[in-house]
Amino acid sequence: MFIGDWMGRGALYWPEHVAVVDTAKGDAGRFTYRALNTRAEALGGWLRDVAGVKRGDRVGIVAHNGVEYLDALYACGKLGAIFVPYNWRLHATELTDLVRAIRPRVLLFGDDFRDAVAQVRESIGDSLGLVSLESQGLPGAAVYTEVLAHRSAEPVKNDAVSEEDTLCLLFTGGTTGRSKGACISYRMVAWNTLNTLVHELRPGDVTVTHTPMFHTGGLLVYSVPLLTAGGTIVIMRRWDPEELLALIPREKVSLFFAVPTQYQQLLDSPRFATTDFSTVRFMTSGGAALPVPLIQAWQAVHAVPFKQGFGMTEFGPGIFSMGPEFAVSKAGSIGRPNYFIAAKLVDDDGREVPTGDVGELLLKGPSMCSGYFEDEAATREAIDADGWFHTGDLARKDADGFFTISGRKKDMFISGGENVYPLELESVLYEHAAVQQCSVIGVPDAKWGEVGRAFVVLKPGEACSAEALLEHLRGRLARFKVPKRVELVERLPISAAGKILKRELREAAIAAEAEGR
């Protein structure tokens, strides 16, 4: 036994227990721990024996969610290779740039992305080995069914792998600039799993993975920790609120993670009221604070506890957790640091700020990434000499030790010499009964330097004017904080992780100002 063989252990402890339900594959999509280990052995053997993959080599994938992500992750763990899931939303040119930067030896791909991968190979050349996950491949690409038929003469393992080796590269969300590859070590995954077991999971739990598995939310929030504890992962190919509601009673789901936008979509579904939630212990919200009116609307129909969490690609991702008993009394808070996480708030000079004051959130602990792939400058900027990770998030801590995010350092804008934190304004907007979704940014202003601009999506069937929303803000905020303008829009730009892309809003607003609109 060596450190990377998750499924070898799973097959030893829970051989016939269902590990994965890949809903897109129908009845053929139910895999026991023994079956999942067999698939990882086959893929790992093929990668080693046929493709020549060695310890430290990269193996990429671009595909919609499916068991193949776990096949590749666990095969790489057996080999000591590095798993690299790529964002399938990328343009072919962006994908090519990332593939060229990471240099995977092999790239697995789904048929939906065949054309993009063809462009990547044309640019990269034949040094990039290809594996088609479905029947319609590309010339020269191996076919996945044949890969899984491979049987090795020698066990698939690498005893030299250590806990500090990189297991996978996960790219940062890219909402504020070009994505960087965070180096996720075996040590990081193990300590995140321990934190998650302390605060969230029980052996035998069942969760639904619907967040894209190229993202930490899909891969590491619950999926890998639960598969380390003998649980079951139900994989959705793509997000669909109707499908999720159907899966909850069918698969006896006990917990799941979603972002506030998705909880609103579930609430709005015609199936919501009749769904049986009796097996669900709790639901976790992340990505943004869950508005209290949304919690109340849910619990008026289904008395299922909500937990607020907070995480990021580079740390954990399980960093903060808050039990359901605090969902209303500490509304807006991300909770307290998880068991093996140290957190502090500092000013621009690195001094800790008093309780109640805003400072940058710094983190320390064994579930931190090892820096950014081949980017020493970015690593030094993020991790200081004392080992603290600088998140770029602004937060405050109350007397009970609960943290509340105030915004991003780069989101904060200065209006007339005063700091304005968009998240504070957004929280007030969410108190308005007509608001379904909102985002506030800072835009240049000749008089004040910067002023706020709010973008608001109204709930279906609701009517509310921009002026009425401004009046709502004026009644609750200092005058300098109130946005100069509210724009009512049909939708907001959303990332694959469910986060609002403020950079896109800001760029569009500045461009519109330049054109006099």
Domain borders along the chain are: 29-161, 198-408, 415-514
Task: Confirm if 195 and 341 have CB atoms less than 8 A apart.
Answer: yes
Strand partners, 106: 59, 129
**Chain segment 62-119, per-residue pLDDT in tens:** 999 999 999 999 999 999 999 999 989 888 888 998 999 999 999 999 999 999 999 9
Question: Would you call 507 helix, strand, or coil by DSSP?
Answer: helix
- Tally Cβ neighbours within 10 Å of residue 152: 14
Q: What is the DSSP string of 442-501?
A: EEEETTTEEEEEEEEEEPTT----HHHHHHHHHTTS-GGGS-SEEEE-S---B-TTS-B-
* Class at the top of the CATH hierarchy for domain 29-161: alpha beta
Q: Across residues 168-176, what is the average pLDDT?
A: 71
Return the closest-CA partner of residue 341 out of 224, 214, 181, 199. 199
In CATH, 415-514 is 3.40.228.10? no
- Answer yes or no: is pLDDT of 174 > 50: no
For residue 19, give both structure tokens: 């590990």
Q: Across residues 209-225, what is the average pLDDT?
A: 95
What is the model's pLDDT at position 516? Answer: 67
- Answer yes or no: is pLDDT of 173 > 60: no
Give Cα 73 to chain centroid, integer Å. 17
- Tally Cβ neighbours within 10 Å of residue 511: 10
Average pLDDT value for the chain: 92
**Chain segment 467-486, per-residue pLDDT in tens:** 999 999 999 887 889 999 99
Residue tagged 């402890």 (tokens): 13
**Chain segment 393-431, per-residue pLDDT in tens:** 889 999 999 999 887 777 878 787 677 888 889 989 999
Question: Would you call 109 helix, strand, or coil by DSSP?
Answer: strand
Tell me the CA distances in angstroms from 125 to 57, 100, 160, 275, one per residue in order: 17, 10, 31, 51
Question: Would you call 195 helix, strand, or coil by DSSP?
Answer: helix
Check if 29-161 and 198-408 are the same fold.
yes
Q: Across residues 123-128, what is the average pLDDT?
A: 92
What is the model's pLDDT at position 314? Answer: 95
Task: Confirm if 349 and 324 have CB atoms less than 8 A apart.
Answer: no
What is the model's pLDDT at position 471? Answer: 95
Q: Please report which confidence band the pLDDT of residue 321 belongs to, taking 50, 70 and 90 as the band edges.
A: very high
Report the C-alpha gap between 23 and 3 in whole angstroms: 30
Tell the CATH topology of 198-408: Rossmann fold (3.40.50)
